[in-house]
Amino acid sequence: MQKVFADFIHTLRQQGVPVSPAETLDALKVAELLGVQERHQLRHGLGLVLAKNQQDKQTYEHYFDEFFKFTEVTPSTKGEDSEGEKGEDGIHEPSEPNQDLSANGDGPSDISSSSGQGGGESEDAGESESELMLSGDLAVQAQSPLGQMLQAGDAAEIAMAIARAGQQEGVQNIQLFTQKPLFSYRMMNQMGNEALNQELLELDASNELAQQRLASRLRNAQAHLQEQVRDYVEQQYLLYAEAKGQQLRENTLQKVKLTNIDNHYAHQMADLVRKAAKRLASLHSRKRKLRKRGLLDVRKTIAANAAYDGVLFHTRWKTTVVDRPKIMVICDVSGSVSRVARFLLLFVHSLQEVLPRTRSFVFSSDMGEVTNLFKDQSLEEALSDIMTTWANQSTSYDKALADFSEQALQDVDQKTTVIMLGDARNNNGNGRADIWQKVYQQAGRVLWLNPEHINSWDTGDSIMASYRPYCSELHCCNSLRDLERILGNLLKHS
């Protein structure tokens, strides 16, 4: 049972539900307490300890159903299938399948059996005896172990064998969908497929009718088995690896340069940016304190002076420290950065959610404040609005900075962090570095994040050098990971 739970929890972790070891222990205690007979109750009970927010709960419920459906249904379907096959051969009494179905129907919630097939086994036991007797009527017996098993046709045993082979071959470690055939092949071999093939060849060679009949029967069964194995691998893949592929993609996307990301991935990228921003939010949104002075804290004062016979020596003041950084983000959306502009804007938007006192500006030549636009509209609308209104003009840092000094320079103070997202490609204008100097003098900190690699700075019409003296920090920022790291640092120190 522990193994099943461990596998299940592993699956949950794969799907992004954070389950700690302590919670795993809790889950085992819950299962012990509730028993595994009441599937419904167990589902609620495990949900209480394993999934601790609503999103996780949904994931949990989905995978609980998936995971334990697999174990309970397998024996019965397998039973039916093989039954049907024998029915065609005309060996089996027609009454048997019904009996089998009802027998399996009794134990739908039997999830205790270690891989689910154990429960089926005992129910099928009576049936498999009759099977053996029937096959005993045939003059010829299969020689290879797998052949014998197939001839016996015990669904439960076959399913057990499949699970055993799967475990030995480590199907749980499947990573990519391309590995599915490989694992199926290995599992078949593990179960003794080669010996069976050998035997089939020998049977084909003989001229006796009984032997040839056996060969064709075994072939059928073999094909059927192959299908079962494929199904098994498929299920395991869905349980263990589906999320891994996704993770792999996400990891890669994080590292790839923003300029090189295909539009096709833009949607996934948006999700990633949101995730990153949420992570930043949960890490840093707690520093919300403001110092409030001037109120005497009577209780604390008396307590502090109890030692002096109640004479008020020391005063204690009520303080609550609330300290929230003020941030201004300026984002270049002109043609030269158009490929990354969307992502930068995405991040600006997320940043604004994290730090409510963020003001956002965009420009290519005219500068406009978009703080309210982000606040009032949904992200998609805001982005398309910005791109149509502000983007696609030729860049002019001159004009933009002049606008900035008009609109916001008076609000820049020592507590403000100014972040510029842009490539400093100014179409050979002079750049008005004097304004940037003023910003630098007034602000607490000035960050410049350039999407271009450091080697391309100051080449062509890039005038990074003239702004460089007036930045407290300068970073090359061209992947999501860079962005996250830099802003994480920013939030840590603010």
> Site size for other proteins, by CB under 8 A?
30
Which residue, 111 or 439, is less far from other proteins as judged by CB? 111
| Residue 51 makes contact with other proteins by CB under 8 A | yes
Judged by CB, which is closer to other proteins: 17, or 162? 17
For helices 209-240 and 145-152, the axis angle rounded to 10 degrees is 90
Nearest to other proteins of 30, 200 (CB atom): 30
User: How many Cα atoms are found within 13 Å in the side-chain-facing hemisphere of 2?
Assistant: 4
Structure tokens at 298: 């009577």
Q: Which of residues 302-361 bind other proteins (CB under 8 A)?
A: 302-303, 306, 309-310, 320
Q: Of the listed pieces 16-24, 67-75, 86-94, 250-258, which binds other proteins according to CB under 8 A?
A: 16-24
User: Cα(380)–Cα(397) distance, rounded to whole angstroms?
Assistant: 27
260 counts as binding other proteins under rule CB under 8 A: no
Task: Out of 54, 378, 414, 428, name the contact with other proteins by CB under 8 A.
Answer: 54
Q: Which is nearer to other proteins, 54 or 410 (CB)?
A: 54
Report if residue 20 touches other proteins, rule: CB under 8 A.
yes
SS3 per-residue string spanning the chain: CHHHHHHHHHHHHHCCCCCCHHHHHHHHHHHHHHCCCCHHHHHHHHHHHHCCCHHHHHHHHHHHHHHHHHHHHHHHHHHHHHHHHHHHHCCCCCCHHHHHHHHHHCCCCCCCCCCCHHHHHHHHHHHHHHHHHHHHHCCCCCCCHHHHHHHHCCHHHHHHHHHHHHHHHCHHHCCCHHHHHHHHHHHHHHCCHHHHHHHHHHHHHCCCHHHHHHHHHHHHHHHHHHHHHHHHHHHHHHHHCHHHHHHHHHHHHHHCEHHHCCHHHHHHHHHHHHHHHHHHHHHHCCCCCECCCCCECHHHHHHHHHHHCCCCCCCCECCCCECCCEEEEEEECCHHHHHHHHHHHHHHHHHHHHCCCEEEEEECCCEEECHHHHHHCCHHHHHHHHHHHCCCCCCCHHHHHHHHHHHCHHHCCCCEEEEEECCCECCCCCCCHHHHHHHHHHCCEEEEEECCCHHHCCCCCECHHHHHHHCCEEEECCEHHHHHHHHHHHHHHC
Judged by CB, which is closer to other proteins: 249, or 318?
Answer: 318
CB of 389 to other proteins, least distance (A): 28
Interface with other proteins by CB under 8 A: which range of 167-175, 299-307, 382-390, 471-479? 299-307
Binding of other proteins at residue 282 (CB under 8 A)?
yes
380 binds other proteins (CB under 8 A): no
Q: What minimum distance in Å lies between the beta carbon of 483 and other proteins?
A: 23
User: Chain-centre distance of CA 341, in angstroms?
Assistant: 26
Judged by beta carbon, residue 281 or residue 402, the one nearer other proteins is 281
Among residues 111 and 239, whose Cβ is nearest to other proteins?
A: 111
Candidate residues 13, 57, 224, 475; the one interacting with other proteins per rule CB under 8 A: 57
Of 22 and 133, the one with the shorter C-beta distance to other proteins is: 22
Contact region for other proteins (CB under 8 A) — 50-58, 65-73, 158-166, 184-192? Answer: 50-58
Does 23 contact other proteins by CB under 8 A? Answer: yes
Q: How far is the CB of 353 from other proteins (least distance, A)?
A: 14
Q: Which residues, numbered 128-167, are part of the site for other proteins (CB under 8 A)?
A: none
Q: Which is nearer to other proteins, 134 or 281 (CB)?
A: 281
Is 490 near other proteins (CB under 8 A)?
no
Q: Which window, 15-23, 236-244, 441-449, 467-475, contacts other proteins (CB under 8 A)? A: 15-23
Minimum CB separation from other proteins for residue 243, in Å? Answer: 20
Closer residue to other proteins in complex, CB, 1/33: 33
Please give the residues from 26 up to 45 whose contact with other proteins meets the rule CB under 8 A.
Answer: 26, 29-30, 33-34, 40-41, 44-45
Residues in contact with other proteins by the rule CB under 8 A: 18, 20, 22-23, 26, 29-30, 33-34, 40-41, 44-45, 47-49, 51-54, 57, 282, 286, 299, 302-303, 306, 309-310, 320
